[in-house]
A and B are shown apart, each in its own frame.
Chain A
């Protein structure tokens, strides 16, 4: 029984370690030797799997959505009538897919007029949210805040094409800031991110992070 429990706890980690190490060995190999060719072929094969692996998960996801919404409607929790809208929309979209999948004519209509409306509008309202964030976040409290504000102002002036005529040469300053101090600070963060990535992989393999799950 304990062996079964051990397998149950660790089988995913074993798979993770095997695939990771295999791909890490295969990645830098040139295809000039037979071994290199074999490994590279397997690398390409494996690399193409990730989308397919995640594809079935959507069924569970839709199941959870349906379950949550039906429960809300049955229990009549707060604002339950909106959940009926959700369920109706789900039924319409799933039904529309029976005519030619997601590229079919009915789904194309739905995605053009319904989903595209929501997605573009969501990005659009961020313009408004950004303006209010600017209004509230930039305060000349100390040197750091002042630097943050001034560099932001210069870039804002560069992004609005009219400023080039009001303040000639602003684009040179902006591009210099983007190319030099901005890039340098980003590179400094890159170093940490690159190292952090490797450390995270090591921790996942040791099973200490349980992919982070406790």
Chain B
């Protein structure tokens, strides 16, 4: 094999089937472009105007963006969004890996149990938001009831600025750890068992086994989990909106809640579009960083598994 990966056979120029790649790619691309061109152009355009309910829609240039960069609640929302994303995604991944390592044991009943763990991610965030808000409530909530029983104190989950943010992270973690769990469980199945046998002969410690053997095989699924979870968590809305409405004060406001506030409470469409675009830019930056990691690790996985999948 030469250093440059050989192209796939599909790609060798065959006059007869030159139309085929277009047949593959065009339907999706045409549908996507057709569906998104107007909304994207509109929202980009409107973000440069003062358009809003009962307001003149004059061109204001980048003033909407500039206004947010000066607005402390934007920075607070950005900070909260990043805090939620970093902690929630981080804990989800860590917990997901731990659970997967536990559940990989083929003990009777484990399979059925793991199915229960998958359920939270199938629920609507709306349902989850309402139920957790209810459970967290110190007056009626079952969770608060138990924390009171255990600690002897009333814990006001949703009305202390720190705990409220933590509560949101807890709920997001509860819902999405199963996603990381699922991906990790799948990733574990790809580890060739003979590697463990070899390692046990070499008397490697459990931690070393995990770091040297398991982790390389998990890197790709985990990065995928991080990628999709980051995209979704940066946009987090339903949970926050339902559980705290951004409160207490603005302690749990996120970028999406801010956008919603501008879009649907103040109905300043131009400014809401500007925040939305700032969210898109933020996610793009994060994703590009992640993808560059992913590109490296995909190559690394291909090398380490040696299956020559470097196509």
- Asked whether A and B interact, the reply is no
List B residues at the A interface (Cβ < 8 Å). Answer: none
Q: A residues engaging B (CB < 8 A)?
A: none
